Amino acid sequence: MKKSFLGTFIAVVIFSFTACNKGGGDEILIGEYGSLTGSEATFGISSTNGLKLAVEEINGSGGLLGKKIKLITYDDQGKPSEAQTVVQRLIKNDNVVAVIGEVASSRSKAAAPICQQNKIPMITPASTNPEVTAIGDYIFRVCFIDPFQATVLTKFAINSLKVKRVAILKDVKNAYSTGLADFFEKEFKAAGGEIVEIQSYSAGDKDFKAQLTAIKSRNPEAIFIPGYYTDVGLIAIQAREIGITVPLFGGDGWESEKLTEGKAKDALEGCYFSTHVSTENPDPAVQNFIKKYKEKYNMMPDAMSFLAYDAGMIMFDAIKRAGSTDAEKIRNELAKTRDFGGVTGKISINDQRNAVKPAVILEIKGGLFKYKETVQP
Q: How far apart are CA 292 and CA 300, in angstroms?
A: 10
Footprint on residues 20-49 left by ligand PHE (CB under 6 A): none
Among 86, 126, 225, 349, binds ligand PHE (CB under 6 A): 126
In the stretch 358-377, what mask flags binding to ligand PHE with x, by CB under 6 A? --------------------
- The smaller minimum CB distance to ligand PHE, of residues 31 and 253, is found at 253
Judged by CB under 6 A, the stretch of 23-31, 103-111, 190-198, 200-208 that binds ligand PHE is 103-111
129 binds ligand PHE (CB under 6 A): yes
For the bound state, the minimum distance from the C-beta of residue 307 to ligand PHE, rounded and expressed in Å, comes to 7
Among 35, 77, 105, 154, binds ligand PHE (CB under 6 A): 105
103 binds ligand PHE (CB under 6 A): yes
Per DSSP, which regions of 76-212 are E strands?
98-100, 122-124, 139-141, 165-171, 194-201
Q: How far apart are CA 169 and CA 223, in angstroms?
A: 7
Q: How far apart are CA 352 and CA 134, in angstroms?
A: 7
Q: Which residues of 270-284 are buried (b: 16+ CB within 10 A; e: fewer)?
A: ebbbbbbbbbebeee
For the bound state, the minimum distance from the C-beta of residue 105 to ligand PHE, rounded and expressed in Å, comes to 3
Q: Residue 62 corresponds to which amino acid?
A: G
Q: Is residue 198 classed as helix, strand or coil in its secondary structure?
A: strand
For the bound state, the minimum distance from the C-beta of residue 120 to ligand PHE, rounded and expressed in Å, comes to 21
For the bound state, the minimum distance from the C-beta of residue 44 to ligand PHE, rounded and expressed in Å, comes to 11
For the bound state, the minimum distance from the C-beta of residue 91 to ligand PHE, rounded and expressed in Å, comes to 22
255 binds ligand PHE (CB under 6 A): yes
122 binds ligand PHE (CB under 6 A): no
Among 181, 304, 314, 375, binds ligand PHE (CB under 6 A): 304
Is the alpha carbon torsion for 174, 293, 282, 57 positive or negative?
positive
Q: Residue 198 corresponds to which amino acid?
A: I
Asked if 223 and 166 touch (Cβ cutoff 8 Å), the reply is yes
| Cβ-closest position to ligand PHE | 176
* Whole-number Cα distances in Å, 130 to 106, 109, 142, 196, 223: 11, 10, 12, 26, 23
Determine how β-strand 165-171 pairs with β-strand 194-201: parallel
Among 73, 128, 133, 199, binds ligand PHE (CB under 6 A): 128
Task: State the residues that interact with ligand PHE by CB under 6 A.
Answer: 103-105, 126-129, 176, 252-253, 255, 303-304
